[in-house]
A and B are shown apart, each in its own frame.
Chain A
């Protein structure tokens, strides 16, 4: 059996998010980076969703809204 491949799970999550249009590509990319680094908190999720709802907003490197 193949060992655990968490990156593949992350990619499947991102693919569905983009396909369903839940997040725009820019936010999805932020989410991918943060997920791979294992640092997605509740504030991060709100940041992605907030920015997805409104006009493009700047963000800090850790994905949180300014």
Chain B
């Protein structure tokens, strides 16, 4: 991606009028200074808006509806535009239906923002929230969901295995209970269950079939026996009926003419004859041709006269018919009885004894087997049945016992099947569970090893950065650790005054926690492969020394990022940087905000550059040169007399006059004061200062006060004075780190922050 070029903002928060922030492509750090309420957050939020599609600081403020309040007061949402230019690439964002609309939709520069209110969020957060802050770094987007799915499966299969084991135990206990109930017929339940195999069941079923057949035969025999008895009773009844009918007829006949019966018979025959021949030529009995008319009628009349006799005769006839019929029924019943008893005998005679245990000599009953189904066979069948019918109870008991045995065998079979299935399922699940658990162990341990490694590297990086800000202090040794007992929790530990493993938030001062927060943020941003880093007013609680170190740290780390944007309201930092500048730092300043002018920004002019520019200008601004040079030289003398402990009377901290400063630059000391640049160039700062001291009237007469004599001073003297001051300023204030050489690192000279220049002497000899 091309380097960040400019940020254009309009109708966005404080930018009521269009604002353009130009980023110097030659610099890696952009420092934006502004007093409170000048628009620093507007610029930071605009970067968040266009690069991250976020509402920035507005998102976390209460009672604020970002989409409603992000447009500037008095401007419409449609007016809002934020545009970021990166070389030829442009990225813009606006509001569309209360949502952030970005163009293009992706490919924006990566921006990480650390705001002052979130400076300690990683340090002070509870472990779970700290984990969320770092989740983007330590989560594995493909492995983590797979591990979660695997953990769920392991848990499910483990539960299924427990269920299966329980079913197996239940099946074993069930079989054992059956075995005990059966009287422990084998050495153990398994052996017993094995004996109740399919063949055993088949044998039982065969025995039951035979038993049921015998039972059925006995039922048939019983039925046929009853039928025979009923038929016999019917014959007795029919015989009795016949005897009574015949006796009644005899009595009637004895009362009438002896030939009455024959006459009735004769008359019946005549009636039958006349019925077929209604008009005979003569009487069929006497062959007479007389009185032939109504012969049939007269026969009927005579027969009516014999009706009682006739009825008796009919009764006898019916009784005979009835008896003949019952005889047939009896014979049929006897044949059926013989058949059923023969069948029963056939089933039973294969056994030595009857079901009840009673012995029987089957040879005595061979008559039943003869083809003749006559009376003898029937009598034998009836006689045998009277013996066998007593066996019915024994047969039923045996069949019932077989039924119970079969029921037990079936239950055992089911129990065995359940046992087998439970064993198989438990075995399968055990294998599957163990394999899944082994997989989970590997995935989990590798994921944790990875996370631990990331955290270890974060810890190392934070410690490296932190020790650069706090060298030699007995605080640090930070380590970020996963909570072994709780998923998604991170702990931070550090050392404090020799005590290891303490939470930094318990012992560190606010300024130490702030610098720790900056170091953690920079470490994480570096881990996320650079991009633009924004530090929004985070340097407020540290002292000048630590701010200086943070600035040097940012300077040294800036190459890892696309750009570092640093906002501050801390004027000493701003003043120090604008004096001579700092190699990698672009300095900008915000003007006072008003609704009419909005946010105003300008590139800060470096004071040495400004003085140099004045010295080369035409027409010459004599007063400006003398004034600016005068302020510069007082600052330089203040530093030198303090650092080299020169003979300047310091009876008050501030407000020393030039003359008081100048007392320290004695003639015999001046030659000793030198600045040596990295390339070996020696600048005789003391000698130059002597010249400046000698010409200091220029500052007073031309630069600070109205003085008639000032007009008499020629331009060349003023320019020479200014050039000397510029030479001293450039010698003392390093353009790379922005700092004067005030560190005694070697014991022989003072060095600036980056070591690009040294100041001698380390100590002025007392003899002087």
Instruction: Point out the residues of chain B lying under 8 angstroms from A23, CB to CB.
Output: 435, 439
Find out whether the CB atom of A41 lies under 8 angstroms from the CB atom of B149: yes
CA distance A18 to B435 in the complex (A): 13
Interface residue total, chain B, C-beta cutoff 8 A: 35
Docked-complex contact B150 and A9, CB < 8 angstroms:
no
Known: A9-B450, A35-B142, A36-B142. A45 touches B527 (CB 8 A): no
From A1, A16, A42, A46, contact of B457 by CB (8 A) = A1
The smallest C-beta distance from A9 to any residue of chain B, in angstroms, reads 5
Complex Cα distance A37/B152, Å?
20
Instruction: Check if A59 is an interface residue, CB within 8 A of chain B.
Output: no
- Indicate with 1 or 0, residue by residue over B34-60, a CB within 8 angstroms of chain A CB atoms: 000000000000000000000000000
* CB of B162 closer than 8 Å to a CB of A: no
Residues A17 and B442 in contact, CB atoms below 8 Å apart: yes
List chain A residues, Cβ under 8 A from B529: 3
Q: Does A12 contact B (CB under 8 A)?
A: yes
Known: A49-B432, A50-B432. A38 touches B446 (CB 8 A): no
Q: Are B439 and A22 in contact (CB under 8 A)?
A: yes
Q: Is the CB of A16 within 8 A of B446?
A: yes
Q: A12-B446, A13-B446, A40-B149 are in contact. Are A46 and B142 (CB under 8 A)?
A: no
Of B432, B438, B447, B449, the contact of A46 (CB 8 Å cutoff):
B432
Task: Find the residue from B141, B142, B156 having the highest chain A CB count within 10 A.
Answer: B142
Query: CB distance A20 to B438 under 8 Å?
Result: yes
Separation of A17 and B150 alpha carbons in the complex (Å): 14
Smallest beta-carbon distance B381→chain A, Å: 69
Which residue of the partner chain, among B142, B432, B438, B457, contacts A10 with CB atoms under 8 Å?
B142
List, in ascending order, chain B residues with CB within 8 A of A48's CB: 439
Q: Assess whether A35 is in contact with B143, with CB atoms less than 8 Å apart.
A: yes
The answer to the question of B370 belonging to the interface, with a C-beta cut-off of 8 Å to chain A, is: no
Please tell me which one of the listed residues A35, A36, A45, A52 contacts residue B153 in the complex, with CB atoms under 8 A apart.
A45
**Which of chain A's residues have a CB closer than 8 A to the CB of B141?**
6, 38
**Across-interface contacts of A46 in B (CB, < 8 A):** 153, 157, 432, 436
- Residue in A1, A20, A34, A41 whose Cβ sees the most chain B Cβ within 10 Å: A1
As a 0/1 sequence over residues 46 to 85 of chain B, the CB contacts with chain A under 8 angstroms (1 = contact) are 0000000000000000000000000000000000000000
Q: Given the known inter-chain contacts A38-B141, A45-B153, A46-B436, please indicate yes or no for A13 contacting B443, CB distance below 8 A.
A: yes
Q: A9-B450, A13-B446, A45-B439 are in contact. Are A40 and B146 (CB under 8 A)?
A: yes
C-alpha gap A52/B428 in the complex (Å): 12
Q: What separation, in Å, do the CA atoms of A6 and B310 have in the docked complex?
A: 126
Could you tell me the distance between the alpha carbons of A37 and B458 in the complex, rounded to whole angstroms? 28
Contact A3 B528 (CB under 8 A): yes
Q: A38-B145, A49-B432 are in contact. Are A1 and B461 (CB under 8 A)?
A: yes
Chain A residues 1-30 with CB under 8 Å of chain B are 1, 3-4, 6, 9-10, 12-13, 16-17, 20, 22-23
Q: Complex formed: what's the CA distance from A3 to B157 in Å?
A: 37
Are A9 and B431 in contact (CB-based, < 8 A)? no
Asked whether any CB of chain A lies closer than 8 Å to the CB of B241, the reply is: no
Q: Interface size on A (CB < 8 Å)? A: 29
| Contact A42-B153, Cβ < 8 Å, known A1-B526, A13-B443 | yes
In the bound complex, what is the Cα–Cα distance between A3 and B428 (angstroms)? 42
B646 within 8 A of A: no
B86 is an interface residue with CB less than 8 A from chain A:
no
B436 touches A49 (CB 8 A): yes
* Alpha-carbon distance between A9 and B442 when the two chains are bound, in angstroms: 11
Q: Which residues of B contact A6 (CB under 8 A)?
A: 140-143
Smallest CB gap from B152: residue in A: A42
Given contacts A6-B143, A16-B446, A35-B143, contact A45 B457 (CB under 8 A): no
> Is the beta-carbon distance between A9 and B438 smaller than 8 angstroms?
no
A9's contact among B140, B152, B458, by CB below 8 Å, is which?
B140
Q: What's the Cα separation between A52 and B434 when bound, in Å? A: 12
B137 within 8 A of A: yes
Contact B149 A45 (CB under 8 A): yes
Q: Give CA–CA (A22, B154) in the complex, Å.
A: 15
Interface mask (B515-540 → A, CB under 8 Å = 1, otherwise 0): 00000000100111100000000000
Are B143 and A9 in contact, with the CB atoms below 8 A? yes
CA distance A41 to B145 in the complex (A): 8
**How many Å from the CB of A24 to the closest CB on chain B?**
11
Taking CB atoms, residues of chain A closer than 8 Å to B149 are 40-42, 44-45
Q: Whose C-beta in chain A lies nearest to the C-beta of B460?
A: A1
Q: CB-nearest residue of chain B relative to A22?
A: B438
* A42 & B150 in contact (Cβ 8 Å cutoff): yes
User: Whole-angstrom distance between the alpha carbons of A25 and B432 in the complex?
Assistant: 18
Please indicate the chain B residues that have their CB under 8 angstroms from the CB of A10 in the complex: 142-143
The proximity string for A residues 43-60 relative to B, scoring 1 for CB distances below 8 Å and 0 otherwise, is: 011101110110000000
User: In the bound complex, how far is the Cα of B157 from the Cα of A46, in angstroms?
Assistant: 9
Q: Which residues of B contact A1 (CB under 8 A)?
A: 457-458, 461, 523, 526-527
Find chain B residues with CB under 8 A from A4 CB.
Answer: 137, 140, 454
Query: CB-CB < 8 A to B438: which residues of A?
Result: 20, 22
Residues in B with CB closer than 8 Å to A13 are 143, 442-443, 446
Contact with A along B75-113 (1 / 0, CB 8 A): 000000000000000000000000000000000000000
Q: How far is the CA of A50 from the CA of B157 in the complex (A)?
A: 12
* Set of chain B residues within 8 Å of A35, measured between Cβ atoms: 142-143, 146
Whether A45 and B436, one on each chain, are in contact in the complex, defined by CB atoms closer than 8 angstroms, is: yes
Distance between Cα atoms of A52 and B436 in the complex (Å): 11
Q: Once the chains bind, are B446 and A9 in contact (CB under 8 Å)?
A: yes
Chain B nearest CB, measured from A46 CB (Å): 6
Q: Which of B143, B431, B447, B529 has the most CB of A within 10 A?
A: B143
Kindly provide the distance from the CB of B754 to the nearest chain A CB, expressed in whole angstroms. 25
Residue of B nearest to A5 (CB): B450
Contacts of B142 in A (CB 8 A): 6, 10, 35-38, 40
Interchain CB contact under 8 A, A45 and B150: yes
Q: How many angstroms from the CA of A12 to the CA of B452 in the assembled complex?
A: 15
From A9, A20, A22, A44, B447 is in contact (CB under 8 Å) with A9
With most chain A CB atoms within 10 A of its CB, the pick from B140, B449, B529 is: B140
User: Which of the listed residues A6, A10, A41, A42 has the most CB atoms from chain B within 10 Å of its own CB?
Assistant: A42
Complex CA distance for A21 and B432, rounded to whole angstroms? 14
9 contacts across the A-B interface (CB closer than 8 A): A1-B527, A9-B446, A13-B446, A16-B446, A23-B439, A34-B146, A36-B142, A42-B153, A45-B153
- Sample of 5 more A-B contacts, CB < 8 Å, known A1-B457, A3-B529, A12-B450: A9-B450, A16-B446, A46-B153, A49-B435, A49-B439
- 7 smallest A-B Cβ distances: which pairs? A40-B146, A38-B142, A42-B153, A49-B435, A42-B149, A22-B438, A1-B527
